[in-house]
Amino acid sequence: MLRVLAAELRKAVSQRFVLVLFAVTAAIPLLVGLGLRVADGLSSTPRTTGFACLLAGARYGSIFLALAVLLLGALSVAQERTHGTIVPLLTRPIGRAQVFAGKLLALLVVTIALDVLVACVALAVAAATYGLAPITTEGYEMQSVADMTRHALAAFALSLPALLATASLGFVVGTAAAGVAPAVVAALLAYFPLVVLTLLFKGTTATGFLFTSFTTHFLDVAGDLASGFSTAVFDPRLVMLSLVVPLGTATILTIVAFTIFRRRDVIA
């Protein structure tokens, strides 16, 4: 499995599409930070803080990142079918479960790497453009640097399970699809209704059971803290759901994907 994982990671970093995703993902927090800086320069009463810039960059980066890992998941197996390399891969003296696990782990590693990249670039941009200072309102310190650092780190961590579930959704679609184009179309058709439902039922109990609700939820809450708009911290119930729902969804999707993969490669 480790050999498959290493091969898949080498394949991923050698693909122009993946390198472009890394570049665009890194550029989004940078563009958000520069945009906020320009907007504050034009405003007579700038309100952006360093932590607000950090979390805004991370939020928009996560939105793009969800689409990126969805497509990466969809292409993981579908590309093999389109290029005709799935049969030689499966004729190696390696178990089918190992091939599947290696591909899935490579996808998860790339997803985590992209998430870390978003966080690091957003942090660097915020520190360079605004600095990381306490959040104050009318001279009163609402959040210290240590408090905001904990909130930001927690928000980053709690957004990751939703991204992993999104990658798993793409992976199961790509496993079932006959080629690259059907995989991409099917992945988008499967994902966007979930996003629409998340927006339609935002603020209701129903969204707590959609993994897409947690892609940016905690980044939004931390962003309100950083802007001085709110003093509310993370809801423990939603924290629990942000772990159980996405990871449970990812587990179910992985089981479905393996079932399809095991049958498909027999008739490949």
Give the whole-angstrom CA distance, residue 47 versus residue 105: 42
Q: Find the domain containing 13 and state its range.
A: 2-267
Q: Is 138 left (phi over 0), alpha (psi -120 to 50) or beta?
A: left
- pLDDT (tens, 9 = 90+) of the chain, 268 residues, equals 667 677 777 777 777 888 888 899 889 999 999 998 888 888 767 678 899 999 999 999 999 999 999 999 998 887 777 655 555 555 555 677 888 888 889 899 999 999 999 999 999 999 999 888 888 877 788 888 999 999 999 999 999 999 999 999 999 999 988 888 899 999 999 999 999 999 888 878 878 889 999 999 999 999 999 887 877 788 899 999 999 999 999 999 999 999 988 876 544 4
The pair of three-digit structure tokens given for residue 165, joined into one six-digit string: 């579930």
Give the whole-angstrom CA distance, residue 93 versus residue 204: 51
Inter-residue contact 213 to 205 (CB < 8 Å): no
Q: For residue 143, what are the β-bridge partners?
A: 135
Inter-residue contact 152 to 225 (CB < 8 Å): no
Domain count for the chain = 1
Give the dihedral sign, CA 119/122/125/127.
negative
Give the pLDDT confidence score for residue 256 in this predicted structure.
Answer: 95
Q: Compute CA 15 distance to the chain's CA centroid, rounded to the nearest angstrom.
A: 20
Give the pLDDT confidence score for residue 94 in this predicted structure.
Answer: 65
Q: For residue 140, what are the β-bridge partners?
A: 137
The pair of three-digit structure tokens given for residue 236, joined into one six-digit string: 């423990």
Give the pLDDT confidence score for residue 86 in this predicted structure.
Answer: 59
Whole-number Cα distances in Å, 95 to 27, 80, 81, 229? 40, 17, 18, 54
Give the pLDDT confidence score for residue 268 in this predicted structure.
Answer: 43
Give the whole-angstrom CA distance, residue 5 versus residue 43: 50
Helical (H) or strand (E) element with 12 = helix 2-14
Give the pLDDT confidence score for residue 89 in this predicted structure.
Answer: 56
Give the whole-angstrom CA distance, residue 209 versus residue 143: 30
